Amino acid sequence: MARKGKGFHSAVAYNTHQPRAAHSTTQFGGCSTSAFNKVPHRVRSSGDDSLGQWAWIRLQDRTQGVGQRNLVVISAYHPNPPNNGHQTVWFQHKAHFSRTNRDVEPREAFIKDLSTAINKWRDDGCSIILGIDANDDLSSYSPKSFRFRMSEVGLVEAIQSKHPGSHQATYQRNPRGYPRLTASLRRLTCPSWPPGTTLLTNTSPPITVACGSTLTCAVSLADTNLRNPPMFHAGW
């Protein structure tokens, strides 16, 4: 997947707890985060959630010792609310929680588990970039909204904070009742990065971080019907 002479590093997440049906080769859900070109040389560690909820790569800059910065880039998929499909991500997770006697709703479990992981990284001094298919109205800031819940762990929705008046659709089949995020390409800068470094966000995967080379985060392999495929950041 990488050109000759170029580096490549990828973290891939899928549900490792779902019993595989003999007649099926399909599993809905999953996501991946990949680093290309010169970026893999800065990979310190990487990993995934065993339910396939997110995959992550931790990068470190060239500074040695005190003052060294670490950035965790996460690709995640927040399950859609339940419907009639018994192979959906929501039902996969619900079945797993039932088998393990965990009394929790899958969408709520995702937020709690992701928040715990983010808090651990932030306690370790890491900055965070979260690229996510949130399956939620991210213009909402109600106490139960995904955007508000991420703010509780110090993350700010990048597009809305940069362009608060923009609610354009991110996908042609978005429900009309959902205010949507911007559909145009945006260039953001990060004060903690070297001069000239920019952050590009588009309306759908991939998200690209340009740091003299390229890091690509596939926001989700689970579903291309994205209501809001935004990016959250912390520690900028």
Sign of the C-alpha dihedral computed for residues 172, 176, 181 and 183 taken in this order: positive
pLDDT recorded at residue 19: 76
Bridging pattern class, strands 126-133 and 70-77? parallel
Architecture (CATH level 2) of domain 7-19+26-234: 4-Layer Sandwich (3.60)
> Domains of the chain: which residue ranges?
7-19+26-234
pLDDT recorded at residue 5: 52
Q: How many C-beta neighbours within 10 Å does residue 89 have?
A: 28
Question: CA 179, CA 24: separation in Å to the nearest integer?
Answer: 37
Q: In this predicted model, what pLDDT tens digit does every residue of 11-47 receive, in sequence order?
A: 999 999 987 764 567 888 999 999 888 888 889 999 9
pLDDT recorded at residue 104: 96
pLDDT recorded at residue 162: 72
Reported pTM: 0.71
Question: CA 56, CA 70: separation in Å to the nearest integer?
Answer: 13
| Regions of the chain short of the pLDDT cut 50 | 1-3, 22, 176-194, 196-230, 235-236
